[in-house]
Amino acid sequence: MQLTDKRNTWQMCISSSEWGLKQVYIMSKEKILIIEDEEDIQELLAYNLKKDGYDQLKITGSGEAGIEAVKRFMPDIVLLDLMLPGIDGLTVCRTLKSNVDTAAIPIIMLTAKGEETDIIVGLEMGADDYVVKPFSNKVLIARIKSVLRRAKNMQNEADNEVLKRGPLLINRTKREAMLNGTPFTLTYSEFEILFLLAKRAGWVFSRNQIVNQVKGDDYPVTERSIDVQIVGLRKKLGSAGDAIETVRGVGYRFKENFSDADLKSQSSKAATKFNH
């Protein structure tokens, strides 16, 4: 009986010309799993996410329950507190990212101030982003959307060796980098760093992650040398140098949605040159 009622309601919505109403019923937003032990934060998250249309939510209060819930619920994204009773958040992250069935599910870590080390470890384990508590709802929603979008783009670009990022064109097969159509020369390591960061634009990479993924032939790659190479890379990128952003205490990232509008004029570039 209830089912029939529901179907009638559904059909009414479909047949109504209220497009907005139709959307509410037809467009279902991504499933979100929250792993967070503090009840007030659970409630706040649930309230704000629902307000933004994310009504497929599951909330668990421990790492064990979280891992279990991932398998049953198969969320599109996980919001993961790091300080949990029992299995901690980093262990949950490692468990999910090392399992083929769950590795592709994006994770946003919810961290406290002063947990930079944990943030770095989490990113190295494959977490996709983090927000520091207390965070604003706007920031969190923006991060969720951005991480979901990036996850989709990643799939599309998985085998693509040519990246276009605003005025930058990076062709890994030809080992060619161009800015506004003009090729410029990079060392092997600089090229690999640029490709790594640009491929996952918006993603933060720790120095250690960069070291591990960039095996330099021309340069001994250490965490310290990454800083030196980033300086060199920014210099060679010239007006596009600001595309590579420093994330204080964590590492580097290629600016998300980098476009021609982000190009700095040479004069203002000089002012920010040493701001790394």
Angstrom distance (rounded) from CA 71 to CA 228 = 43
- Calculate ∠ Cα 128-225-232, nearest 5°: 90
Q: Minimal distance in Å, beta carbon 40 to Ca ion?
A: 11
Query: Which residue's CB is nearer to Ca ion, number 85 or number 183?
Result: 85
Asked if 192 is part of the footprint of Ca ion (rule: CB under 5 A), the reply reads no
Beta sheet of 107-111, edge-to-edge order:
57-60, 32-35, 77-81, 107-111, 129-132
Asked if 115 is part of the footprint of Ca ion (rule: CB under 5 A), the reply reads no
The piece of 9-17, 34-42, 48-56, 223-231 that touches Ca ion (CB under 5 A) is 34-42
Query: Which residue's CB is nearer to Ca ion, number 70 or number 211?
Result: 70
Size of the site for Ca ion (CB under 5 A): 3
Query: Which residue's CB is nearer to Ca ion, number 37 or number 192?
Result: 37
Asked if 118 is part of the footprint of Ca ion (rule: CB under 5 A), the reply reads no
Q: Is the peptide bond before 134 cis (omega within 30 degrees of 0)?
A: yes
Among 49, 59, 75, 81, binds Ca ion (CB under 5 A): 81
**Strand 77-81, strand 107-111: pairing:** parallel
The piece of 30-38, 61-69, 137-145, 151-159 that touches Ca ion (CB under 5 A) is 30-38
- By CB under 5 A, the residues from 252 to 271 that bind Ca ion are none
Query: Which residue's CB is nearer to Ca ion, number 65 or number 196?
Result: 65
Structure tokens at 230: 């980033």
Asked if 37 is part of the footprint of Ca ion (rule: CB under 5 A), the reply reads yes
The piece of 11-19, 29-37, 54-62, 112-120 that touches Ca ion (CB under 5 A) is 29-37
Asked if 83 is part of the footprint of Ca ion (rule: CB under 5 A), the reply reads yes
Angstrom distance (rounded) from CA 32 to CA 22 = 22
Structure tokens at 91: 């262990």
Going from the C-alpha of 219 to that of each of 194, 197, 198, the distances in angstroms are 15, 18, 21
The DSSP letter of residue 113 is T
Query: Which residue's CB is nearer to Ca ion, number 111 or number 189?
Result: 111
Angstrom distance (rounded) from CA 81 to CA 36 = 5
Query: Which residue's CB is nearer to Ca ion, number 58 or number 150?
Result: 58
Q: Could you list the residues that contact Ca ion (CB under 5 A)?
A: 37, 81, 83
